[in-house]
C-alpha cells in the first residue's frame, strides 16, 4: 500500500502531516512509541524540506509518500531546493552547538529511524526514512 501527498512550503502546512500519517493503517498497527518516533522523524524532515530545501517558497512543493511492505514502512520526503551534503552537517552534540537552537532534525531522525537515506536530485533532495516492523 502506498499513499502520497503534496504540501506547499509553508510552516502552516506541517499541520497536515499528523492526519496524513494517521490515515495510513499500517502505521496504526505499530506500537505507540514507534508511531511517535515516525511522527517526530517525518515532521523534522518535512520541516527541513520546507525551511532549508525550498526556503519557504510556496511555489515549491514538498512531496511525501508512505509505503509499507511486510517488513518495513518507508516515508519518502522530496523537496525542490538546492540539496545539501548530509555528511557535511555538524554534530549537534558538540559543545559549541549544544546551546544553539535548531540543527538537530537530521540527527534526531537518524536516531529514531532504522535507516535514513539522502539522495540529491535535480532539483532537490529526497530523504527516505525507514522503520522496521
pLDDT of residue 67: 96
DSSP string over the chain: -EEEEEEESSGGGGHHHHHHHHT-HHHHTS-HHHHHHHHHHHHHHHHHIIIIISTT-TTSEEEEEEEE-SSEEEEEEE--S----GGGS--TTSTTTTTSSS--HHHHHHHHSSEEEEEE-SSSEEEEEEEE-
The answer to whether the bond into 123 is cis (omega within 30° of 0) is yes
Residue whose entry in the numeric block shows the C-alpha cell 509553508: 10
CB 50 within 8 A of CB 15: no
Give dist(CA 111, CA 71) in Å, integer: 19
Q: Which of 131, 7, 132 is nearest to 63 (CA)?
A: 7
CB 99 within 8 A of CB 54: no
Stated pTM of the model: 0.93
Domains (ranges, CATH) in the chain? Answer: 2-132 (3.30.565.10)
Tens digit of pLDDT per residue, the chain (133 long)? Answer: 899 999 999 999 999 999 999 999 999 899 999 999 999 999 999 999 999 999 999 999 999 999 999 999 999 999 999 988 888 777 777 777 676 666 788 999 999 999 999 999 999 999 999 999 9
Amino acid at each position: 500500500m502506498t499513499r502520497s501527498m503534496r504540501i506547499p512550503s509553508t510552516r502552516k502546512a506541517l499541520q497536515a502531516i499528523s492526519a496524513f500519517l494517521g490515515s495510513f493503517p499500517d502505521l496504526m498497527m505499530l506500537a505507540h512509541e514507534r508511531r511517535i518516533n515516525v511522527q517526530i522523524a517525518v515532521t523534522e524532515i518535512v520541516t527541513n524540506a520546507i525551511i532549508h530545501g525550498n526556503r519557504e517558497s510556496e511555489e515549491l512543493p514538498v512531496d511525501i509518500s508512505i509505503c509499507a511492505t511486510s517488513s518495513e514502512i518507508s516515508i519518502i520526503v522530496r523537496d525542490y531546493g538546492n540539496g545539501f551534503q548530509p555528511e557535511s552537517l555538524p554534530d549537534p552534540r558538540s559543545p559549541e552547538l549544544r546551546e544553539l537552537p535548531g540543527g538537530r532534525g537530521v540527527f534526531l531522525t537518524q536516531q529514531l529511524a532504522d535507516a535514513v537515506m539522502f539522495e540529491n536530485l535535480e532539483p532537490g533532495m529526497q530523504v527516505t526514512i525507514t522503520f522496521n516492523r
